[in-house]
Amino acid sequence: MVIVIGRGSENDFNYSVYLVIGLIVWRWINTTVRTSAKAITKYSSIINQVYLPKSLFPLATTATQTFNFAFGFIVIAVFMVIYQVFPSWHIIYLPIIIIIQLIFLLAISMFVAYSCVFVRDIDNILSHILRLFFYTSPIIWEASRLPEKYDWFVEIKSCSNHC
């Protein structure tokens, strides 16, 4: 999403808008993965009583978190108005980026939800992995501020290209 507003030069960089966009997108990723990890095991009593496709539960949690993410655009818009940041023409790519991210989250949600049925500790480990991923991805810090010798690290992070 930061691509949509354009990062610009060092002089006109708005860190507050960058931070809000990064945190809202990260909250979508984090809550979707964490809630989908518990999706099937949480409703196991319903699954045992009535036949329901198990994939319905991770899909529902992903859809719910996507709906919550849509409300984050209001916060982003408020910050953009306050700091007088206007989107560039790249905003036409925003729906495509969101759809790609949603498909990625659906795949991760299904994998994690089905894995947690067999190995329940994945849910606990996942919270630590996601926290590590948060601090190592340029969500709360800008990647261009790192020395050039660490560019390879930023390039291998998938979230660094989106957040």
Q: What pLDDT shows up at residue 74? A: 95
* 16 pLDDT higher than 80: yes
* 140 pLDDT higher than 80: no
* 8 pLDDT higher than 70: no
- 150 pLDDT tier (thresholds 50, 70, 90): confident
For residue 88, the SS3 value is coil
* 23 pLDDT higher than 50: yes
pLDDT digits (tens, 9 = 90+) for 66-116: 999 999 999 999 999 998 888 888 899 999 999 999 999 999 999 999 999
Radius of gyration of the chain (CA): 18
Q: Which amino acid is at 16?
A: S
- Provide mean pLDDT across the span 21-44: 91
Q: What pLDDT shows up at residue 61? A: 94
Highest mean pLDDT among 2-11, 47-56, 69-78, 125-134: 69-78
Domain locations along the chain: 2-161
Q: What pLDDT shows up at residue 162? A: 47
**Mean of all residue pLDDT scores within the chain:** 84
* 13 pLDDT higher than 80: no
Q: What pLDDT shows up at residue 18? A: 83
> How far, in Å, CA of 152 to CA of 57, rounded?
37
> How far, in Å, CA of 159 to CA of 142, rounded?
12
> How far, in Å, CA of 63 to CA of 79, rounded?
25
CB 138 within 8 A of CB 157: yes
Residue with tokens 């919270």: 127
Q: Which has the higher per-residue pLDDT, 115 or 163?
A: 115
